[in-house]
Amino acid sequence: MNWYLGNYWYLLLLLLLPVIGYFIIHYFRWKSKRRNIFAEDRFQELLFEKTSGFARIFPILYLLGLLFLIFAIIDLLGGREEISVTQTVSNTIFVLDVSNSMNAQDIQPSRLDQAKNIIINSLEKMSNDRVGIVVFAGEAYSVMPLSTDYSAAATYLSGIETSVVQNQGTDFLKAMEVAAQKFNNIRKGSKNVVLISDGEDNEGHEDDAIDLANKQGIKVTTIGVGTEEGAPIPEYYYGQLMGYKTDMFGETVVSRLQTKALKNIASSTGGSYIDGNNLDTAITELEAELEKSTGSSTTTVSSQSAVHYYQYFLAVSILFFFIIYLFNPKKDFNI
């Protein structure tokens, strides 16, 4: 039985012992005075039955019985068992590209929707793993801290659109900086980043992103969504399709999947590049990749259904009171 801090309040019950002991001692003194008032010492043996010698230890037996009864109450009310559990967990941050090119529909219904579906379906296969979400384009923002609340993660994902980041582009360094901040106090070897992007509009900062990931001990798995043939980039205004992005000459811009930077980031940080165009295949490969870098952590858990020992204390207490009942002639407590 482990007595943690909260149980110490129950130990105040032990203060009852000196109080009860005080009243027992004063009871016997009071009884002796009453006898002396009733008759002189030389007549007491004739008037009163002789007190047994065993009665002298009755106060001690009473106090011991109460002591073990208090121990039983303390364990019954506050007993708790602390168990050290070694769990196999991973810490994964999904870094999602929300640049405008992710609205392209060469992957149905869109690249962004495909990316979100990959994350949501991956969450369904997780149990104790902690996950977080970062969105990025020309800037990066944390959407969800590391947590095991997968339903909350799915809720956050459902509301993510390309409009959540105003500064457009694809800056991998900004994304990695935010992800690294979210990995504070997590040991190396348990830091996973899953970066999902079409790789387009890359601002050329992937080498700096790789250096930061390697310095922080972050393994990056990259997932590319989109096709090499590409598709035009829809432009929406308040959810309504207003047309397609054009260049300075008025020509429709065709966005294509760019894998060079994605493959470079993955291979340089110990991760793998995954083709995200096939949902089932991407999820299977991602699950296998995350299992490779799963670490173990030891957690101390306070069990609510702890093993109690109050029955042993209670048994000893009952034994003392039974001895008192068995050997105590009641006349010893009469005047």
Distances (CA, A) of 150 to 125, 127, 132, 139, 300: 10, 9, 10, 25, 23
Which contacts (CB < 8 Å, 24+ apart) does range 41-50 have?
49/331
Rounded to 5°, angle at Cα 103 from 100 and 105: 145
For residue 75, the surrounding DSSP H or E stretch is helix 58-78
Domain count, the chain: 2
Say what the pLDDT of residue 87 is.
59
Task: Indicate if 272 and 130 belong to the same structural domain.
Answer: yes
Of the candidates 245, 147, 212, the one whose C-alpha atom is nearest the C-alpha of residue 195 is 212
Task: Indicate if 208 and 260 belong to the same structural domain.
Answer: yes
Task: Indicate if 212 and 326 belong to the same structural domain.
Answer: no
Bridge partners (DSSP) of residue 300 are 84
Phi/psi at 300 (5° precision):
-95, 120
Bridge partners (DSSP) of residue 192 are 92, 219
Task: Indicate if 276 and 149 belong to the same structural domain.
Answer: yes
- In the predicted model, residues of the chain with pLDDT beneath 50 are 1-6, 296, 331-335
Task: Indicate if 191 and 217 belong to the same structural domain.
Answer: yes
Task: Indicate if 64 and 157 belong to the same structural domain.
Answer: no
C-beta of residue 286 within 8 angstroms of C-beta of residue 274 = yes
Report the alpha-carbon distance of residue 333 to residue 35 in Å, rounded.
12
Task: Indicate if 34 and 93 belong to the same structural domain.
Answer: no
- Does residue 109 have a cis peptide bond before it, meaning omega lies within 30 degrees of 0? yes
Render pLDDT for 35-60 as a digit per residue (tens, 0 to 9): 665 555 555 555 555 555 566 677 78
Q: Is the dihedral of CA 291, 293, 296, 301 positive or negative?
A: negative
Q: Which two tokens stand for residue 295?
A: 């670490």
Report the alpha-carbon distance of residue 331 to residue 270 in Å, rounded.
87
Q: Range of 269's domain?
A: 86-299
Task: Indicate if 20 and 96 belong to the same structural domain.
Answer: no
Task: Indicate if 55 and 98 belong to the same structural domain.
Answer: no
For residue 44, the surrounding DSSP H or E stretch is helix 41-47
Task: Indicate if 154 and 223 belong to the same structural domain.
Answer: yes
Render pLDDT for 187-200 as a digit per residue (tens, 0 to 9): 777 899 999 999 98
Phi/psi at 213 (5° precision):
-65, -45
CATH number for the domain including 230?
Answer: 3.40.50.410
Q: What pTM value is reported for the model?
A: 0.64
Render pLDDT for 105-156 as a digit per residue (tens, 0 to 9): 999 999 999 999 999 999 998 887 899 999 999 999 999 999 999 999 999 9
Task: Indicate if 113 and 249 belong to the same structural domain.
Answer: yes
Task: Indicate if 204 and 317 belong to the same structural domain.
Answer: no
Say what the pLDDT of residue 142 is.
93
